[in-house]
Amino acid sequence: MPNNKKLLLVESEMLKANGHFLDYLIETSNYFKKSKNIFWFLNRDFDPQNLHLPEYCNIKKIIKSNRFKRKKINFIIL
């Protein structure tokens, strides 16, 4: 019986392999790897930096998100 279930994981803000974003993707994929076809939708500018990414995941770098710099907030204390 073919497995028609799909799991779609979307991470649009991750550009590098730092923080909890990649950990979340890998842990979730490992949990469901036997029961679903797993697709990762990542930012176009994601740099894998020689990472060991799971081979059983279909990785699509197709999301373009709006990246902006936050302004530094200056408080005046009297």
Cα distances (Å, whole numbers) of residue 1 to 5, 8, 29, 57: 12, 21, 21, 20
Closest CA to 66 of 15, 18, 23: 15
Determine the pLDDT at residue 17.
79
- Residue 77: pLDDT band (50, 70, 90) is low
Range of the domain at 15: 6-63
Residue 33 included in any domain: yes
Residue 14 included in any domain: yes
Residue 40 included in any domain: yes
- Domain count along the chain: 1
For 47, the token pair is 């740099």
Q: pLDDT tens digits for 13-54?
A: 888 877 788 888 999 999 998 888 999 999 898 888 888 888
**How do 37-43 and 57-63 pair as beta strands?**
parallel
Residue 76 included in any domain: no
Residue 1 included in any domain: no
Residue 71 included in any domain: no
Determine the pLDDT at residue 15.
82
Beta carbons within 8 Å of 54's beta carbon, 6+ residues apart: 26, 29, 30, 33, 38
For 41, the token pair is 């939708």
